[in-house]
Amino acid sequence: MDSLENQLLIAMPSLMDPFFYKTVTYICEHNDHGAMGLVINSPIDITLNELLEQINEQKPFADTLEQRVLSGGPVAQNKGFVLHSQQPGWSSSLQLSNELMITTSKDILMSLGTELAPKHYLVTLGYAGWEPGQLEQEISQNSWLTLPADNEILFLTPAEQRWQKATEKLGINLAHLSHDIGHA
């Protein structure tokens, strides 16, 4: 299977795992060692302002940071990730594509709400991870569909609407799909 890096994984309606039910996951890394991604449509009960206040009580934050932090996955839920538009210069960044980067350092968090912040970003706690071959097996079992990453879905669509928007981009109505696995 080709690498799924810079793809969106769209959970099939039949995927009943409570953590991944109707989720959209951005795949950051996919290779012989497994896969790593960030769920981009599962808001948790903490705003970005509240998270930043926990990290640094001294900094006054902009009132505009009321967006909710996302649960990026069930692994390392105490670790933060910022998926953002291209903007080099942060302490710990990895370029994911020509348009996207992921940063895990505190310096980017302190820029949010200022003119130094990336144009587009989302913040997650935790990530989703798959062992070698696990994601490929789940796809063959009809648990996931894939779609090239789309900045409109990532950054301009409200989190609660991302699954629906991603399924619409596929051009099919998932409600009409069979839950049975078939192989031609």
Q: Where are the domains of the chain?
A: 7-176
Write the burial class of residue 175 (CB in 10 Å: 0-12 exposed, 13-18 middle, 19+ buried): exposed
Helical spans, DSSP H, in 40-142: 48-55, 106-111, 134-140
The pLDDT of residue 89 is: 84
d(CA 14, CA 16): 6
Q: Please, which residues have CB within 8 angstroms of residue 182's CB and are 6 or more apart in sequence?
A: none
Note down pLDDT in tens along the chain; length 184 residues. Answer: 689 999 999 999 888 888 999 999 999 999 999 999 999 999 999 999 888 888 875 555 555 688 899 999 999 999 999 999 998 788 889 999 999 999 998 889 888 888 889 999 999 999 999 999 999 999 999 999 999 999 999 999 999 999 999 999 998 776 665 555 544 4
The CB density around residue 89, as the number of other CB atoms within 10 Å, is: 10
Distance CA 108, CA 46 (A): 18
CA distance 93 to 108: 9
Distances (CA, A) of 66 to 38, 88, 168: 20, 25, 28
Give me the pLDDT at residue 58, please: 59
Of 24, 162, 132, 148, give the one whose Cα is nearest residue 97. 148
Task: Write out the two tokens for 68.
Answer: 């909710």
Alpha carbons 12 and 139: distance in angstroms, whole number: 10
For the entire predicted model, the pTM comes to: 0.90
Cβ atoms of residues 70 and 24 within 8 Å: no
Q: What share of the chain is helix, strand, coil (3-state, %, to 5)?
A: 25, 35, 45
The pLDDT score that the predictor gives to residue 184 is: 45
Return the residue matching tokens 């779609």. Answer: 147
CA dihedral 132, 4, 150, 39 (to 10 degrees): -10
Architecture of domain 7-176: 3-Layer(aba) Sandwich (3.40)
